[in-house]
Structure 1
Amino acid sequence: MNVIVNRVAEFLKRFPPFSFLDKEDLQTVAQQVEIQYLEKGETLFTQGEPARPSFFVLKEGTIHLVESTAKGDEIREICDEGDVFGVLALLGKRPYLLTSKVTENSLVYAIPVDVFEKILEKNSRVALFFAAGFAAGQVVVRQDLSQGQKARGEFKKPTGDHSLMIFSDQYEVKVSEKVLTCGPNDSIQTAAKLMSTAQVSSIIICDYSNFPLGILTDKDLRTRVLALGISPDLPVSQVMTQPVITRKKSDGFGNLYLTMIRNRLHHLVLTEDGTDRSPVCGLISDHDIFLSMGNSPAVLIHALMNTLDVGEMRKIRDRAEQMLRYYLENEVSMEFVASVMTEINDVIITQALEIGKNNLASDFPGMNQVPFCFLSLGSEGREEQLLRTDLDNAILYADTSESQSERAKEYFLKLGEQVIEVLLACGFDPCPAKMMANNPEWVQPLSIWKEYFSEWIMRPTPEALLKSSIFFDFRPVKGNSSLAEELTRHIYEEIRKKKAFLSFMGQNALQNPPPLGFFKDFMVEKTGEHKDHFDIKARAMMPLTDLARLLTLSHEMVGINNTFKRFEKLAEIEPNYADLFQQAGKAYEILMRMRALEGIEHQNSGRYLNPKSLGKIQRQLLKNTFSPISELQEIIQIRFQLDYFRR
């Protein structure tokens, strides 16, 4: 008997949630297991039947979980070795949602609920496993990807250093609630005395309603008062920084912290409703936060902003990769992670432009006065380039006089070459298709860029559609953003003239290969270098990016490039499909995380995954992300009348 119990325990230990149990609890469960032999054609439980006092683990064989619908029986899950199913006995003892059909002779372990309920009470990882719907056959698996992310994070073994987890919104924001204030008519000297007495580095200037008007810091006193010889008797309103940037405490640490990073703030003022038209209620200082975090985004960005040494920039970007890995493995909010990495990449581009302009200043006098805008395209344009994958970028500059046009083209091409040289030195890969700012084709004045987009829209050849999928996601990184805004307006004017362009894009969006085969297995590469690997970019991510882009263009949404943010906005615009769009956004976040982790682990782009190397939970989670794709494609098919559309 002991031999049998030990064998059961050894088997269960290989699969979650039993892998989370200590030896004693595992032995307790194994002792109570009832081993059942089922022949092909039998049914273990039926849809609508009251839940049994046990749930099940498949030891050998195959069992299909089937739902009876108006269209007939539909297979919802195929259970294989180690799958847990029939767990509704644990979740409120509701009737079964599916029927279990034995399709080949099988051995099943039946585990009594009353034994396992005690474990659920004391083991949060096991409880969350079931609550998140990871037991095979639970319909909730396909309906709540956010819970899947949360559960997956809980399954990870704890790592050593958790200092960076402060960025997760599960942690309380550390706020100074006793904020020093004064009135706009108080003198500079009065404000300085108040700061000295309170031993703080800032004071908020407020009106009679305690609404913030501005802020004065130690640095302001040095640079705006002492250095310029300003009289300390003048009103503080004459030297304060205004308007003041405000947020509310409930925004969550990630958003607050990103606000400080993006606006290069040393202090962030908090008000009751997050605007400057409500009372001050708190203050966050970088002294309290940044100095304690050696590998934080703020420290890395500060270091990048203060160096034009390419070797040093490379080292800082390497450190950012270490930070990225930690964030990904610890399930830090994907929106936060993507925003941080985008900010770091953008600062590198900004510094590269500075290097280029300095190097070219003597050879091209006056050219730095020509308005221009550096554009990021593709994944970086969508704020999704977590790894240093291939570059997609371009330069857009203002039209110049005929006498200056050749000189301007030469200058901006050389500037683009300098930027690309720096980015490559920082570890980014070149674009195989040479869609970069060192290619003369993609360094053009506004008038030529307008011609490009007009041509692509009016004559949507396969090549034009390919370029559209990259260039339509352009994002201004540095320079005169009004040029990019004018180009955006032109694009929408052209699309209004030829609505059929959206149907061409729709057809193109449906060309992506399916992620799963007929038997619900991953569609892997059949030949070549990546044989037997799953192309997560082409089969899972590109369908979602293409669909989000198409719907964004159809609604003329401006200023939202990121795929999961696009789906977020679409959920607001089309409430009838809100659930689907929200799930699509969550699916894309999960795919981004998986690809980045794969890339970091294998020091590559992370595009090709080996399904056999994925754990059971990872495989299930990956499959779950595919479910919104087919539904979205059906919507596109109908909305853009693709059944009747002919190229």
Structure 2
Amino acid sequence: MANVIVNRVQEFLKKHPPFSFLNQDDLASVASQIEIQYHEKGEILFEKGDAPEAHFFILKEGQIELKDGEETKDFCDEGDVFGVLALLGKRPYILTAAVLENSLVYCIPVNAFEEILQRNSKVALFFAAGFASGQVVIRQDLSAGQKARGIFKKDNNDHSLLIFSDQSEIRFSENVVCIAAESSIQQAAEKMAEKEVSSVVIINSEKYPVGIITDKDLRTKVVAKAISLDLPVKQIMSSPVVTKKRDSSFSDLYLSMIKNRLHHLILTEDGSAESPVCGILSDHDVLLSMGNSPAVLINALLNTTDLTEMRAIRDRAETMLRYYLENEVSMDFVASVMTEINDVIIQQATKIARSKLAPEFPEMQGIKFAFISLGSEGREEQLLRTDQDNALIYEDLPASVQVKAANYFHLMGSEIVEVLLACGFASCPGEIMASNPKWVQPLSKWKEYFSEWILSPTQESLMQASIFFDFRKITGSSSLTDELSAHIYEEIQSKKAFLSFMAQNALKNPPPLGFFKDFMVEKSGEHRDQFDIKARAMMPLADLARLLVLSHGITGINNTFKRFEKLGQLEPNYESLFNQAGKAYEILMRMRALEGLQNDNSGRFISPEHMGKLQRQLLKNTFSPLAELQDIMEVRFQLAYFRK
């Protein structure tokens, strides 16, 4: 009986964000720990000023009113999350929760969710979008970058940060295209084409909205099912409609769209469906009104597989990135947000690929795989759309299906790469992509690759190791990447000398400064007189961070400045140096990204002569911890003896 209840709870939760963002294991874990409460009409769940409970709430059935004194602030309906201050900040409740109708409430223990909030950025960004104690927390200023870190850091209590535009900046269409319920589907489509709109509102004789049709409805309900265009629109319209008052706050409008998973929100004179239509707000309008919000960009990506839209959203993310960099928002927050956006694009690309291949390969749908990112995206550091570095792992299979599986996963990898190219990510010059059959292999072959690189560390092997050792699963089965990580750790433990080879290779990076402390610039070619910030400054630090965490047997931390942060904890004697190295890397990431945005390129090559004196000095300062770390590595890995 207990299992039946847990399964029902789980089925309910996965329909509603943020629980819909959880993987199966986390969802099952949360569902098993939930307390179910029944409250009768008139009861009070909590009072304003009360200390927070050890859980927050999601409403299963009934209705809860959130109020401040006698003033109603909001109503909670099925699937709404409230009382989140117990989770986000542990502050006293700022509203009173009163039961308006007999209600069934699920209580989610804070302890069961804190870890998920920490490691699942989709969940963190969802809460950032406004679910805090049943009301939206609106902030206008995101330039205080350290506050922004609260979304991803446990030690900051302010997790409700999100930039919402001012109400005066809301953009929506006032000229709504409307049509009578008796009109045909053909007439509706013609009107949408004539007015170049993506939706039409169905109205009754009093001009009140009774339904809505979108271009998606025409695709999925009409074309896909081949129904007659002569049928009345009322047979395919979405009804009843969700409406809001046109002068509602932006946050109220946006949250209505989020909660009801709407692409279009109808605005009426009094906010009800018994009132004339006076406007319509689309998710595109939201995107324009809230261009600097990561939550909006991610939500938009999660709701489209159209490549043109995906490219446009990623373009807008670049605008957001510029804003963050110019306003000195902390780099770990910036990197987390941009990584999440890139990850969602890859996840949507995988969905597109699998959907396209499903009819031809139905038997492949249940086979475990993992799409992994390498290099800067693997390290969660790809701010700009630089070269792709990715690969694909799939489970070991019987020989009878191996050939077909290899073909299927190669096609899948190629489709994903094509989507990324369409979204503006560059192709890898070295063909280290999932479109290359060499990098689409079963788990056993991947183990062979890594064993060979570790046991026979040639120059080519060390180059491959520097790229592939930073792999990170983006979508698919974690069990495959976990097993591969365990294999790598065991192999390194059995051949410690490999780390010395890695150290020797890391110290081969060209020096950033010459004898007279001038920047070492390119002597010829396209980038003559330019400084290679990647090869001479960033990669040396990334290589050393990777080497050191591997020497400590640490896996699961790929990001360079997070690796230095961890190293500071592991080696307190060098904590200051590691902190300096981490900060230096953040500065280099910021400088490269700004350079790339300014010149519409990768930002890799910088002209020192075009830099101000302060910028030049700041860049030179980042080389100090690099030189000191290289000296320490020389001694620690006995490289002088190693070269004999």
Q: 1: distance between equivalents of 2:457 and 2:394?
A: 25
Aligned to 2:642: 645
Q: CA deviation at 1:263?
A: 7.6
State the percentage of identical aligned residues. Answer: 58
Q: CA deviation at 1:424?
A: 0.3
- Matched residue of 1:373: which SS? strand
Q: Is the counterpart of residue 192 in structure 1 residue 63 in structure 2?
A: yes
Kept in 1, the 8 Å contact 2:506–2:540? The answer is yes
Aligned to 1:479: 476
Q: 1: distance between equivalents of 2:508 and 2:447?
A: 27
State which of 332, 335, 338 in structure 2 corresponds to 1:335. Answer: 332
Aligned to 2:464: 467
- Matched residue of 1:236: which SS? strand
Q: CA deviation at 1:295?
A: 2.8
TM-score by length of 2: 0.63
Q: CA deviation at 1:327?
A: 1.1
Aligned to 1:629: 626
State which of 538, 545, 549 in structure 2 corresponds to 1:548. Answer: 545
Unaligned runs of 5+ in 1: 1-175, 216-220, 222-231
- One-letter amino acid of the structure 2 residue matched with residue 643 of structure 1: A
Q: CA deviation at 1:210?
A: 13
State which of 386, 394, 397 in structure 1 corresponds to 2:394. Answer: 397
Aligned to 1:591: 588
Kept in 2, the 8 Å contact 1:412–1:443? The answer is yes
Unaligned runs of 5+ in 2: 1-46, 94-98, 135-149, 165-250, 256-285
Larger Rg: 1
- Matched residue of 1:374: which SS? strand
Sort the Cα spacing of 1:569 and 1:258 in 2 relative to 1 into closer, same or farther, 3 A: farther
Q: Is the counterpart of residue 236 in structure 1 residue 105 in structure 2?
A: yes
Kept in 2, the 8 Å contact 1:191–1:203? The answer is no
Kept in 1, the 8 Å contact 2:61–2:104? The answer is no
Q: CA deviation at 1:260?
A: 2.4
Q: CA deviation at 1:400?
A: 1.2
Aligned to 1:602: 599
Aligned to 1:520: 517
- One-letter amino acid of the structure 1 residue matched with residue 586 of structure 2: E
State which of 375, 389, 396 in structure 2 corresponds to 1:378. Answer: 375
Q: Is the counterpart of residue 308 in structure 1 residue 326 in structure 2?
A: no
Q: Is the counterpart of residue 454 in structure 1 residue 451 in structure 2?
A: yes
Q: 2: distance between equivalents of 1:554 and 1:595?
A: 29
Q: CA deviation at 1:266?
A: 5.4
Aligned to 1:260: 124
Show the 5 A alignment for 1:318-329.
Answer: 318-329=315-326
Sort the Cα spacing of 1:553 and 1:182 in 2 relative to 1 into closer, same or farther, 3 A: closer
Kept in 1, the 8 Å contact 2:534–2:604? The answer is yes
Kept in 1, the 8 Å contact 2:128–2:159? The answer is no
TM-score by length of 1: 0.62
Q: 1: distance between equivalents of 2:410 and 2:548?
A: 34
Show the 5 A alignment for 1:134-213.
Answer: 192-195=63-66, 199-201=74-76, 202=80, 204=82
Aligned to 2:426: 429
Q: Is the counterpart of residue 510 in structure 1 residue 385 in structure 2?
A: no
Q: Deviations over 1:211-261 (max 9, x none)?
A: 99xx9xxxxx9xxxxxxxxxx857423xx566687669xx9xx99997522
Q: 2: distance between equivalents of 1:528 and 1:297?
A: 39
Sort the Cα spacing of 1:299 and 1:463 in 2 relative to 1 into closer, same or farther, 3 A: same
- One-letter amino acid of the structure 2 residue matched with residue 192 of structure 1: Q
Q: 1: distance between equivalents of 2:379 and 2:473?
A: 11
- One-letter amino acid of the structure 2 residue matched with residue 552 of structure 1: V
Q: CA deviation at 1:559?
A: 1.2
Q: CA deviation at 1:427?
A: 0.6
Kept in 2, the 8 Å contact 1:195–1:203? The answer is no
Q: What is the aligned-residue RMSD (CA, Å)?
A: 4.0
Kept in 1, the 8 Å contact 2:58–2:81? The answer is no
Sort the Cα spacing of 1:555 and 1:192 in 2 relative to 1 into closer, same or farther, 3 A: same
Kept in 2, the 8 Å contact 1:268–1:284? The answer is no
- One-letter amino acid of the structure 2 residue matched with residue 267 of structure 1: F
Q: 2: distance between equivalents of 1:391 and 1:567?
A: 25
Q: 2: distance between equivalents of 1:186 and 1:261?
A: 18
Q: Is the counterpart of residue 415 in structure 1 residue 284 in structure 2?
A: no
Sort the Cα spacing of 1:481 and 1:258 in 2 relative to 1 into closer, same or farther, 3 A: closer
Q: 1: distance between equivalents of 2:87 and 2:495?
A: 54
